[in-house]
Amino acid sequence: MARVASLEKVSKKNRLEARLTAEQKRQIEHAARIKGTSVSDFVVLSAADAALRTIREHEVLTLNERAREAFAQALLSPPAPGRRLLAAARRYRDRTKS
């Protein structure tokens, strides 16, 4: 319900229209009643949630593909350890000897 209240405070200047079957309209109206919101708020919140989910799924998939490629490349031709990594390894070895 907090999200609905925050939606009402925002200035709404854009409009979105959609054509529905009678059954879709009945289901949406019923779901809005269950949630205790207007049909308009229910549709906007549901569409916004679906949009965020779709965007996240796409970004996670894209990042996973990039990460997999980077991981495979690092395994096939690992970079030589740098000065700072070698120093950190020495510090770790010295601390764990005791």
pLDDT digits (tens, 9 = 90+) for 78-89: 999 999 999 999
Residue 69: give the domain boundaries. Answer: 2-96
CA dihedral 53, 55, 38, 23 (to 10 degrees): -80
What is the model's pTM? 0.57
38: CB partners within 8 A, 6+ apart: 32
Q: What is the pLDDT of residues 3-44, one digit of tens each?
A: 554 555 677 889 989 999 999 999 999 999 999 999 999 999
Number of independent structural domains in the chain? 1
Is the confidence at residue 56, as pLDDT, over 50?
Answer: yes
